[in-house]
Structure 1
């Protein structure tokens, strides 16, 4: 390698910064792997222009694929040969898994039993990229239950919801109306952290929905607080945005038909990005305080 080419190599700090911005925060293996050595060890064709047996098999399969034609008559490239099937640990969400989740959730009679069944459930692919099941925190006998969307990095490490920056803000919000984690119960719609904190897909949300609905039913709070739009849309069956939903009392109806007053409000993570809207969340929490006082 020449000196000029060495100068063009990316700085290690730039590379690490790129990985961090892409959401890479965990190593896949404990020991580093030299990918360049692996590339050098791969078998090469025996002669110029002579393909390996594997390449010949792929080329042969590609030739068997007939070209497709559009209605306008223009042809497209032949389709690539089918890829290999996913491994057994990479579960693709489907209706069968959602039905299994509904069955497991409906037959759980206690929170401990529900947690055990969620820990044993392999129907959501998020489980295989997360470190821990983030079930809940707080007092299950509390009058108020707060539900967010999904755990983040800190929550995934500790196995508890809302323990990072947004969790500390939530603690201050609860303290402002005279509550803490001994007088509130906190959970998420999704119990496993999505990779890189990405937004959960509709399939993943639908698979996890029976578990959070049963969790709410078993806790049976007097007041439900939906933290953020995804929680409100999932549990209140609405498509409205959170800025239109917040501040207005809605009703969450459990599977057994119990109606629970629900207050949609802004997620603490959103408030950290948009501090000017903290006043809106403050108004919502005052409504919650008044509701709890009226219930007694």
Structure 2
């Protein structure tokens, strides 16, 4: 691509941002249009939950919900869980939907809605600019996040910070450079196992309220469980990339978790393409 073809935000990258991209192993380029979705199920989105510094594990079983069957002849797949929490009779989801930021954080800190409360050290609420245009949503806290009470720390968090800096964003700044970062689950699953469907359903009202309070212009869904929770699909990331999806009316761009990229550095260029798509989507709103 010639210089004249570069979008303004590409030509505006400063030396530090270009150095960060180089450190990620990504050449500075930008697609003129959204990349086409992958034509086949890709093995490059290995379905293991990303965790900072954790060794690669065997592919995990996709999140699924028990399928109600009245008889073998009538067996029909059940839909993924509804966004609201249908289990509790006290209208818990509706009460959470009315909370402000301080009340929401206090409620999360005291949450005992699932068994994860018994093994956590800290809840991991979120970090960044609470009025940011960009929102990053990951999967579940890992060991270091559980210790610190902050999402995306350790090597994966450092890579995420470099990725965000490359597009002019930072978790420590506000305004046009701000970003808000949260996870689907607010508590660490024991031994960094995959989130269970009931845990995702019970934690979902918190994330829904965070999105409503932030009111972002774009959401980056990072990792398989983040994508499944937001989009209600079990499609692999490779088939969902390159398109603009929606969550509560907010555009969603699907991309790989930084911990996955640490294990598969060749796919960093794909994540850069996803960031380009996110920037193009915000610019055209």
TM-score by length of 1: 0.63
What is aligned with 1:106? 97
Task: Indicate if the aligned counterparts of 1:248 and 1:263 stay in contact, CA closer than 8 A.
Answer: yes
Task: Indicate if the aligned counterparts of 1:97 and 1:207 stay in contact, CA closer than 8 A.
Answer: no
Q: 1:216-231 maps to which residues of 2 (within 5 A)? A: 216-231=211-226
RMSD (Å), alpha carbons: 2.1
Q: CA deviation at 1:105?
A: 1.4
What is aligned with 1:43? none
What is aligned with 1:174? 164
What is aligned with 1:265? 255
Task: Indicate if the aligned counterparts of 1:101 and 1:211 stay in contact, CA closer than 8 A.
Answer: no
Task: Indicate if the aligned counterparts of 1:246 and 1:266 stay in contact, CA closer than 8 A.
Answer: no
Q: CA deviation at 1:294?
A: 3.4
Structure 2 counterpart SS, 1:186 = strand
Matched, 1:235 2:230: yes
Task: Indicate if the aligned counterparts of 1:232 and 1:264 stay in contact, CA closer than 8 A.
Answer: yes
Flag the 1:282–1:210 CA change in 2: closer, same or farther, 3 A.
Answer: same
What is aligned with 1:39? none
Task: Indicate if the aligned counterparts of 1:98 and 1:207 stay in contact, CA closer than 8 A.
Answer: no
Q: 1:47-86 maps to which residues of 2 (within 5 A)? A: none
Aligned match for 1:194, one of 189, 211, 228: 189
Question: Aligned equivalents of 1:280 and 1:214: distance in 2?
Answer: 30
Q: CA deviation at 1:98?
A: 8.6
Matched, 1:210 2:205: yes
Matched, 1:145 2:135: yes
TM-score by length of 2: 0.66
Question: Aligned equivalents of 1:97 and 1:166: distance in 2?
Answer: 35
Question: Aligned equivalents of 2:165 and 2:97: distance in 1?
Answer: 34
1:73-123 deviation digits (Å, cap 9, x = unpaired):
xxxxxxxxxxxxxxxxxxxxx964496541431221x12211111222211
Task: Indicate if the aligned counterparts of 1:104 and 1:117 stay in contact, CA closer than 8 A.
Answer: no
What is aligned with 1:4? none
Question: Aligned equivalents of 1:199 and 1:100: distance in 2?
Answer: 27
Question: Aligned equivalents of 1:240 and 1:116: distance in 2?
Answer: 34
Structure 2 counterpart SS, 1:225 = strand
Question: Aligned equivalents of 1:222 and 1:243: distance in 2?
Answer: 23
- Runs (5+) with no aligned partner, structure 1: 1-19, 24-93, 254-258
Structure 1 counterpart SS, 2:195 = coil
Question: Aligned equivalents of 2:220 and 2:263: distance in 1?
Answer: 20
- Runs (5+) with no aligned partner, structure 2: 1-53, 58-84
Q: Matched residue pairs, number? A: 199
1:2-49 deviation digits (Å, cap 9, x = unpaired):
xxxxxxxxxxxxxxxxxx99x9xxxxxxxxxxxxxxxxxxxxxxxxxx
